[in-house]
Structure 1
């Protein structure tokens, strides 16, 4: 064995599945999570302690407009009022928020002279809150920070309270803002400075989410774990976290979509989403997110739905790159694979993914969601330019992307 390699024993799913018994690590890997997480029913009450301990007296709140009349929002604002915190609220936030929305929110935050930010909502709201914080301390426009680690000054304290179990934005090192002039989504990434300082995972916050939003955001969380697990940049720590995330998400999403009052399912979904959010910023994602990025921008579909539409096709394409991991994925999704050869067990994972999408009412094809065939070639070219080959387990050419879009169409 080469002396620069470390060989670690890899566990087996069952005695009948003959995986490569060792995992070879040729590079040094890292893992980092700067967010303190409070989770469980009533976890939002910890906000009072946080603002008191941090001396927060003026807070900017970014919130989904649909939540303004909710019991949960009033609980949070009542806590802040009792602590003597002066607040200002911004709720004019659209799905896939634009840079113009960030600029308007920033004006409100600056006028209030806020020293801390609270985000209450889904991924769009949390991403706006992150973007406001970045520009507040670093200046310029949010466009200036597209890419990886393009800013260096820490944003103000951010407390993120997700009201959907999907993006994991509360703990991830990225935020996505739409450049409406270029009709493209900008990804702003910083593993250390972009995650929220505190994440509140309270299932009470999920009670009013519509069923279709629960389904789309839940699939988004699943794709985060799925693609992070298969990423060429994955490591032993991210693998362990992602397998747990997949078990939580695949094992609870159906029950959660059926009944958002199911607090156990909601808590498990929030935890699974956060786990995947912790990992994907460190491993990168893959072809599902690459394709969905341009489908969503071109046809104004939600991020979760765009991912769901591309997931089955990409899962079939990537299978050959790592059948052993696909077999473990099938087991994590609750499918029996004992006695199956690795490749057959891997195919079970794809079947499980297709069944999950069908059970949640995801349209079978891109055309069923309004995507038109004339845009497929252009989106394939954008996918190549985006260079997700840095992370996707199977190298993908322009011809491959064209075929993937055609298959999904």
Structure 2
């Protein structure tokens, strides 16, 4: 019997009203990292999704690579998130927050006191950009600064920052947290041996390069429980200058099996082909499903047909949609009725204005004109 992705389901420890998730997307609309009523409206407009995963949320002052992103390290930020969570819960959706440390994908203008960003190593992402201030103080895309390699003790401090942010997320009322282990940010910088040139316990072998990720997962599990902890991964991705390496498959097999033992809420895989990077190889999802026995979410180039096929083949459990949710707050209803989608306006993705944020019309609103 085929699975109806629009029907309620229990998936692992999650009770969802459908199998559609809103993927995390940076929108940069928070002064001092404090969520507000406009953010609550934005997320509640899209709460037809069974699961909402918020935009990347800073775990500390030094974790940022984009201006105006929300955080989860101050009391005011926790209180602000309550507005968002209450609005989403009133619509019957679950909401996880994505905890984010960008590592080297940052700029001195964003860092406290103008210091260098930190990374797994001091290798610079010379062809990548952050959203900060240029030499004239003008806001916009700026080339990532040369990072400073974290010491082993500092790595453990960042792990603690993840755990503290996880505790703050639960205080705010989130149903769980998703560690950002993807897109070339700090956790993935440790995984990649061509970026991670360390010679300590966090570099070298697959086990050592995976240590930071697993320690962060374990710290969050200890803080809030495995059923509230998840992670996003981008196997074979190349964003922010993460080159391919020989042990990719072996690395993600190791991670999948380790994460299976921990019984976390889900693994969220992103196929970066939709972001102009590398696609997942043929058969990878089949292999990953054999390595990992928990809930799998897939994002990247999803549509109704692909979602239904992969879910009914048993390769994934939840289909995540990203950019299409920005310009289609009623995306679930549009998918269910095969209504056309409104294309996004990428020039409005970032910034403090409400234009391109909360003013997108539903299909019904447009039809009634």
Q: TM-score, normalised by structure 2?
A: 0.30
Larger-Rg structure: 1
Q: TM-score, normalised by structure 1?
A: 0.28
Question: Higher helix proportion, which one?
Answer: 1
